[in-house]
Amino acid sequence: MPVKREYKHEVYSASEDESKPSVERHKKAKKTPSSPRKERKLWTEAEETQFNDAINNIVKKNIWSEIKTNFPELSSSRSADVCINHWIAMYKKWQKS
């Protein structure tokens, strides 16, 4: 049988009533960051464009499998091509505004 663990964070001290030992718990020390917090940078136009294109590509690749899995009533009434074309139209509208 394995040996029981002794917890270092508990300190038992004898009180006036010896039958009930009091337990004091040590508070954990707050962690101090090892390095200073980095300054936030604004997104450049090029980064925004790259990010939007990446999201568009991810959605185009995965939209049909997500619709089939999570929305069977929609997948029975719409084809994969129709869903992808609808996404492209929505994406273009979103890009213009």
Rg (Cα) of the chain, in Å, rounded? 30
Q: Do the beta carbons of residue 12 and residue 21 sit within 8 Å?
A: yes
Q: Given this model, what pLDDT does residue 50 score?
A: 96
What is the pLDDT tens value at each position of the chain, 97 positions in all? 666 666 555 555 554 555 555 556 666 666 666 778 888 899 999 999 999 999 999 999 999 899 999 999 998 999 999 999 999 999 899 888 8
Say what the pTM is.
Answer: 0.52
Q: Given this model, what pLDDT does residue 96 score?
A: 85
Write down the number of H helices and E strands in the chain: 3, 2
